[in-house]
C-alpha cells in the first residue's frame, strides 16, 4: 500500500471510529439498531451487485432483507416462517420475470444466500447489544486488532500461503497473528470493560481471532467467484461495507454463543 493509500485509510478511520463509539456508548440502543439496518442494506446491495443480480430481484431482495433483519431482532423464534415465505415470494418473482427457465438458480442463489449471510448473521450484533454496549466495543476491538495483527505479521513474516486459491495474500503467519492479536486485545480491552476471568478472555480472543480469519475467507471466496476485488469502493482504500464487516459477521455469532454457553 502506498503512502497516499495509507493516509486515506487513516482519515477514514479517524472519522468513522469516534462516530461509531458515540453511537454505541452515548446514544440509546435504537440508534445502534438504525446503524445496523443501514449496514445490512448497503452490505446486501454490495453482495447482489457483485453477482450482477437482476434489478427487480435486487430491489425486492434488499427490501426483504430489511424486513427479515427487523423480524430477526424481535421475533427470531419465527425465523423459519418468514424465511420460507421470502423464498416463495422471490422464486415467484423470478418465475414471472423471465419466461426462460435457464439460469433461474443462478439468478436466485445470490438473493437467497445473501438473506442467510447478511441479515441472518448481523442480527447477532443486536443480540450482543442487548447484553450491554461493552460487548459491542469488545467485539469490534478484538476483530479489528485481529485483522491488524494478521496484516502486519503476515506482511513481515508470512511465507507459506494459507489458502491461495481463495485469498492469495493470506499466510499462515498472518493467521497465527490474528489469533494472537485477538487473545492479547481481548485481555486488554476485556479486562477494562467486561466481567470475565483472564483465562476466559484469552480463550474468547483466540477464538474470535480464528473465526475472523474464516469470515474473511468466506467473503474472499464469494468475491473470487464473482470476479471482483472489493465488494464496492464506498470507502477509499477500505473497500465496501461488506469488506469491513465480513469477519465481524462470523465473530458476532460465535461470541454470542460463547457468552451463552461458556
* SS3 assignment for the chain: CCHHHHHHHHHHHHHHHHHHHHHHHHCCHHHHHHHHHHHHHHHHHHHHHHCCCCHHHHHHHHHHHHHHHHHHHHHHHHHHHHHHHHHHHHHHHHHHHCCCCCCHHHHHHHHHHHHHHCHHHHHHHHHHHHCCHHHHHHHHHHHHHHHHHHHHHHHHHCCCEEECCCEEEEEHHHHHHHHHHHHHHHHHHHHHHCCCCHHHHHHHHHHHHHHHHHHHHHHHHHHHHHCCCCCCCCECCCECHHHHHHHHHHHHHHHHHHHHHC
Q: pLDDT digits over 35-70, tens only? A: 999 999 999 999 999 999 999 999 999 999 999 999
Report residue 164 as a C-alpha cell: 491461495
Q: What local confidence, expressed as pLDDT, does residue 235 receive?
A: 64
- How buried is residue 149: exposed, middle or buried, by Cβ count under 10 Å (0-12/13-18/19+)? buried
Q: pLDDT digits over 116-135, tens only? A: 999 999 999 999 999 999 99
Q: What local confidence, expressed as pLDDT, does residue 6 receive?
A: 55
51 neighbors 126 (Cβ within 8 angstroms): no
Q: What local confidence, expressed as pLDDT, does residue 159 receive?
A: 87
Mean pLDDT by 10 residues, the chain (262 residues): 56 79 94 97 96 95 97 95 96 95 96 97 97 96 95 91 93 96 96 93 97 96 92 71 95 95 77
Tally of structural domains, the chain: 1
Q: What local confidence, expressed as pLDDT, does residue 239 receive?
A: 75
Q: What local confidence, expressed as pLDDT, does residue 123 receive?
A: 98
Residue 208 belongs to domain spanning: 3-261
Amino acid at each position: 500500500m502506498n503512502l497516499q493509500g495509507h493516509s486515506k485509510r487513516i482519515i477514514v478511520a479517524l472519522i468513522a471510529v469516534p462516530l461509531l463509539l458515540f453511537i454505541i456508548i452515548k446514544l440509546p440502543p435504537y440508534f445502534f439498531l438504525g446503524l445496523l439496518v443501514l449496514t445490512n442494506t448497503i452490505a446486501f446491495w454490495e453482495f447482489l451487485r457483485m453477482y450482477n443480480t437482476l434489478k427487480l430481484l435486487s430491489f425486492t431482495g434488499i427490501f426483504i432483507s430489511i424486513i427479515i433483519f427487523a423480524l430477526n431482532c424481535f421475533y427470531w423464534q419465527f425465523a423459519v416462517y418468514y424465511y420460507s415465505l421470502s423464498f416463495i415470494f422471490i422464486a415467484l418473482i423470478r418465475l414471472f420475470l423471465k419466461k426462460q427457465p435457464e439460469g433461474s438458480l443462478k439468478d436466485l442463489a445470490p438473493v437467497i444466500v445473501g438473506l442467510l449471510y447478511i441479515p441472518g448473521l448481523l442480527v447477532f450484533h443486536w443480540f450482543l447489544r442487548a447484553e450491554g454496549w461493552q460487548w459491542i466495543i469488545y467485539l469490534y476491538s478484538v476483530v479489528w486488532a485481529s485483522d491488524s495483527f494478521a496484516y502486519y505479521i503476515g506482511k513481515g513474516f508470512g511465507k507459506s500461503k494459507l489458502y491461495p486459491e481463495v485469498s492469495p495474500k493470506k499466510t499462515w503467519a498472518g493467521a497465527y497473528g490474528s489469533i494472537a492479536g485477538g487473545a492479547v486485545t481481548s485481555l486488554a480491552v476485556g479486562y477494562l470493560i467486561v466481567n470475565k476471568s483472564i483465562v476466559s478472555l484469552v480463550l474468547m480472543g483466540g477464538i474470535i481471532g480464528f473465526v475472523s480469519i474464516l469470515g474473511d475467507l468466506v467473503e474472499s471466496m464469494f468475491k473470487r467467484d464473482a470476479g471482483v476485488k472489493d465488494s464496492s469502493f464506498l470507502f477509499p482504500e477500505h473497500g465496501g461495507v461488506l469488506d469491513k464487516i465480513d469477519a465481524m459477521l462470523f465473530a458476532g455469532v460465535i461470541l454470542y454463543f460463547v457468552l451463552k454457553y461458556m
